[in-house]
Amino acid sequence: MKASGILEWALAATAAIRRAVDSLPTCATGVHMIVARGTGENTPLGKMGRMVENVTLAIPGSDYTAVVYPATFLDYQGSMPKGANEFHRLIKEHTEACPDSKLVLMGFSQGAHAMMDAVCGSEQAGPWRVDELGDDFKSNIVAVIAMGDPSHNPSAPWNKGTSQNQGLFSRTDIEKCEPYTPMIRGYCDTGDVWCDKGDDQRVHGSYFNKYTEDAVEFIVQKFLAANESSAGGGAPSVVPPSSTAGPTTLSTVAPESSNVPGPSTTSVPASGSLVGPSALILMAGVALSLVTLA
């Protein structure tokens, strides 16, 4: 092969390496949030954007992925299960790429219903049917945050709020939520049309002003506990929840999968994910050496 041909091949290989490295999954050093917006909200995060930013400020090195699903009311029967199945897909794909990652699941309204069905399984037959998550991801999922969940059950041990009524699609078999029950926190207040069968439309959107700080504290506690129980786990860096952010426009500007700006957004490649690019680097180096010798 002529020197010019070898050089062209080496340059092409270098470009391929760059593309391969750019496409590698990154593993958050904090938590990876999987977030589902509520019915009719703006993509990607809706009101959950405020909580996402607060978590990122409290736990440096965190990032998120938004659940892409219709979030429509008129086709709720089709929309909600799509969100639940998307939660399943995102959880499985991320833990395959980042087996040591710590996940936080978050959902508001229909997004909370989809998230809880993803974790606990659905109780409806037909197109609503979603299987429970199982215990394969118990070491990864550190917190599950539900805001205004239409499947709210007032007897569930994870409830936080004033509601004593069932939601519009109340979950009856809460035992299916094991082994994730200790990781779940649900917020539902009296009067909420969807999670409390109430008659006050204002309640459903009030949780973020009222409960964001509590939810962030819960997530931080669970994250720290998970790291302490991990083999060789030290004390990761966190920022006191009192330093968390106020209202944000993140929900209307952030991409569907992103490292959210915070004190630190360091991400590292998934373990073992550089094997392919490493081989290409070696081949490109050999080619460049041949050019030098030619």
Say if residue 1 is in the same domain as residue 121.
Answer: no
The whole-number pLDDT of residue 5 equals 58
Say if residue 209 is in the same domain as residue 289.
Answer: no
| Token code pair at residue 261 | 């700006």
Once rounded to an integer, what is the mean pLDDT over residues 57-68?
97
The whole-number pLDDT of residue 282 equals 34
Once rounded to an integer, what is the mean pLDDT over residues 32-46?
96
Say if residue 98 is in the same domain as residue 16.
Answer: no
CA–CA distance, 62 with 58 (Å, rounded to integer): 9
CA–CA distance, 16 with 12 (Å, rounded to integer): 6
**192, 154 Cβ separation under 8 angstroms:** no
Say if residue 229 is in the same domain as residue 286.
Answer: no
Residue (of 162, 144, 158) closest to 107 by Cα position: 144
CA–CA distance, 135 with 276 (Å, rounded to integer): 31
CA–CA distance, 223 with 180 (Å, rounded to integer): 14
**Portion of the chain with pLDDT greater than 90, in percent:** 62
The CA-CA-CA angle for residues 84, 87, 93, to 5°, reads 145
The whole-number pLDDT of residue 222 equals 97
Range of the domain at 215: 26-273
| Token code pair at residue 233 | 């786990």
Express each pLDDT in 111-167 by its tens digit.
999 999 999 998 776 767 888 998 999 999 999 999 999 999 999 999 999 999 999
CA–CA distance, 61 with 30 (Å, rounded to integer): 5
**45, 258 Cβ separation under 8 angstroms:** no
Say if residue 125 is in the same domain as residue 8.
Answer: no
Say if residue 232 is in the same domain as residue 107.
Answer: yes
CATH code at position 60: 3.40.50.1820
Residue (of 115, 124, 122) closest to 143 by Cα position: 115
Counted domains in the chain: 2
CA–CA distance, 237 with 18 (Å, rounded to integer): 31
Out of 14-23, 36-45, 208-217, 257-266, least confident range: 257-266
The whole-number pLDDT of residue 188 equals 97
Say if residue 106 is in the same domain as residue 215.
Answer: yes
- Listed in order, strand segments (DSSP E) in 53-209 are 63-66, 103-108, 141-147, 159-160, 184-187
Out of 85-89, 105-109, 162-166, 228-232, least confident range: 228-232
Once rounded to an integer, what is the mean pLDDT over residues 229-239?
60
pLDDT for residue 86 is more than 70: yes
Say if residue 255 is in the same domain as residue 289.
Answer: no
The whole-number pLDDT of residue 229 equals 74
Separation of first and last alpha carbons in the chain: 10
CA–CA distance, 146 with 158 (Å, rounded to integer): 10
**154, 164 Cβ separation under 8 angstroms:** yes
Say if residue 214 is in the same domain as residue 280.
Answer: no
Say if residue 7 is in the same domain as residue 76.
Answer: no
The whole-number pLDDT of residue 16 equals 53
Residue (of 80, 1, 21, 5) closest to 276 by Cα position: 21
Helix (H) or strand (E) holding 267: strand 267-269
Mean of per-residue pLDDT scores for the chain: 79
Express each pLDDT in 206-227 by its tens digit.
999 999 999 999 999 999 999 8
Say if residue 121 is in the same domain as residue 8.
Answer: no
The whole-number pLDDT of residue 228 equals 83
Say if residue 258 is in the same domain as residue 283.
Answer: no
pTM of the model: 0.74
